[in-house]
Homo-oligomer: A and B are copies of this chain.
Amino acid sequence: MEKNKITALLKRVRENKITVNEAFMKLRHLPYEDLGFAKVDHHRLMRTGFPEVVFCQGKTPEQILDIFKALCRKNKKVLLTRVDGSIFRKIKKINRRVIYNAQARTICLDEKKPVRKGLVSVVCAGTADIPAAEEAAVTAELFGSRVEKVYDVGVAGLHRLLDSFKKIASSRCIIVLAGMDGALPSVIGGLASCPVIAVPTSVGYGANFKGVAPLLTMLNSCAPGVSVVNIDNGFGAGYIASLINRSAECRI
């Protein structure tokens, strides 16, 4: 069925009924595979140039395995987020080349290693922010960015931060993760000349309210150039940073 649609479309192109541009626009939006409980999208890569990603939290193991099977048949790059080791052991039986990052809780399939380009930096305030930071880093790398990591440079020890800043000063995008007071993106936003993607983490206690405090801090950043994603959303930050990084790349 899907095939018919595409064939028909291409015929109309050949017959000059629609322009090539229009056909591309349509192709970008048409095809996907229906598993019943999920509609798997094989053309995302065509549309965004990026791998398919599965957010696994709230899905059953069976659903995750079925989706993965469908994806790895037609994609060379797949990212599963929010998975634990038990899922990994099952996925590995399907495709042995997957890689598990226990801190990031990600599984990556990356069958054609990219030449990683540009620079996305991942900076976090404390040791407890590392899981979200790793999720961001894994994502950015799989999506084709060179990544530099700077961890445990919270604003209470300004000298550590200033020391480390030099090596990330040429980033095209800086991802900054912080829990507790969430003050780090404001400080880095004041130092950097590239966009900052701020990720509040649910690290802290009491009036941190599982990340609400740093979320509000970051939305209110007194430094411009800071935009914010959801609490603990390392993947989202890595994805956006890759879009920005690629944007510079593409136009060389």
Contacts and interface: CB of A to CB of B under 8 A. Distances in A.
Contacts of A68: none
Contacts of A186: 155-156, 181, 183
Contacts of A152: 37-39
- Taken together, the copies of this chain in the complex come to 8
Q: Which of A36, A210, A222 has the most C-beta atoms of chain B within 10 angstroms of its own C-beta?
A: A222
Contacts of A250: 248
Contacts of A101: none
A204 interface: yes
Given A32-B157, A32-B160, A191-B158, A228 B219 contact: yes
A176 interface: no
Interface string A211-252: 111111111111111111111110111011001100111111
A222 B186 CA distance: 14
Interface stretch (A41-49, A69-77, A83-91, A106-114): A41-49
Interface in A153-173: 153-160, 166, 169, 172
Interface string A200-214: 101111111111111
Contact of A235 (B156, B169, B224): B224
A95 interface: no
Nearest to A243: B195
B151 A36 contact: yes
Contacts of A169: 25
A136 interface: no
A126 interface: yes
A77 to B, nearest CB: 15
Given A157-B39, A187-B183, A190-B156, A243 B225 contact: yes
9 contacts: A38-B152, A155-B190, A181-B183, A194-B243, A194-B247, A205-B232, A206-B219, A207-B211, A226-B240
Interface of A: 25, 29-30, 32, 36-39, 41, 47-49, 53, 57-59, 63, 125-128, 130, 151-160, 166, 169, 172, 178, 180-183, 186-187, 189-191, 193-195, 197, 200, 202-233, 235-237, 239-240, 243-244, 247-252
